[in-house]
Each structure stands twice: as C-alpha cells, then as structure tokens.
Amino acid sequence: MHFWKLPRSLPALGQIMEELGARPADVARALDVSVSTVYRWMHVGHAPRSALLALFWLTGAGKSMIDCDLYNDATQLRGLVNALMRERRASTLHMPRVAANDPVTRWHGTGFDRVQR
C-alpha cells in the first residue's frame, strides 16, 4: 500500500473500538499509550489521526482496502510477467540454438555462422 492511498476520512475511535470489540485497555496496549489517554480521547470525542490510522487497518474496511490494493498489484505484476514472457519467446525465435558442445559461433551481421576449427 502506498502512503498516498491512505483513507481521507476515518471512523471515530468509538466506532473502531466497537467494531473490533476492543476495550480501552486493549487500545492503550496496542498504541503504547496509557489507558487514561484512551479514556480522554473517548471523552473529548477526538483521537490523533495516527492512532485512528493504526487501528483502522484492523477493521473490516481497512482490511478490505489492503486486500483490494494487493489484488490490483498482483494483477498488474502478472500482466508484466506475461508481457515479458511473450517478449522473451519472440526474441528467442530469432536466435540460433547453440549447445554447450557445439563449435564456436560468430556473428556476421546477418546471422550466426559456425566456425569450424
């Protein structure tokens, strides 16, 4: 996932906690903050964006966003692999087959010629 694909809006801390079934102590442990800090965020109805982002990726919407991005990346890479395989096949059609024990070959501008010794 690329940093520019971060969600523009995030659910409130209470919504995230409810979806995850997380208690304030769980959130505090996960974010390495005190339990009182989590209660303060809940009381004022606002948590730092970094905390919400960290928890967002554990929600269904966050996991779905990751899955979608991974699927798209895999599809794009598979297309690249297929294109490279086609290009390799096309380029080997014009190359002579040379075995390791064949006589030495030499390029003469129009193709390879075997050099007999």
pLDDT at 21: 97
| pLDDT tens for each residue of 10-51 | 999 999 999 999 999 999 999 999 999 999 999 999 999 999
Q: Is the pLDDT of residue 108 over 90?
A: no
Among the listed residues 108, 83, 82, 81, the one whose alpha carbon sits nearest the alpha carbon of residue 96? 108
| pLDDT tens for each residue of 46-100 | 999 999 999 999 999 999 999 998 999 999 999 999 999 998 888 777 666 666 5
Q: Is the pLDDT of residue 1 over 60?
A: no
Among the listed residues 25, 5, 20, 27, the one whose alpha carbon sits nearest the alpha carbon of residue 59? 20
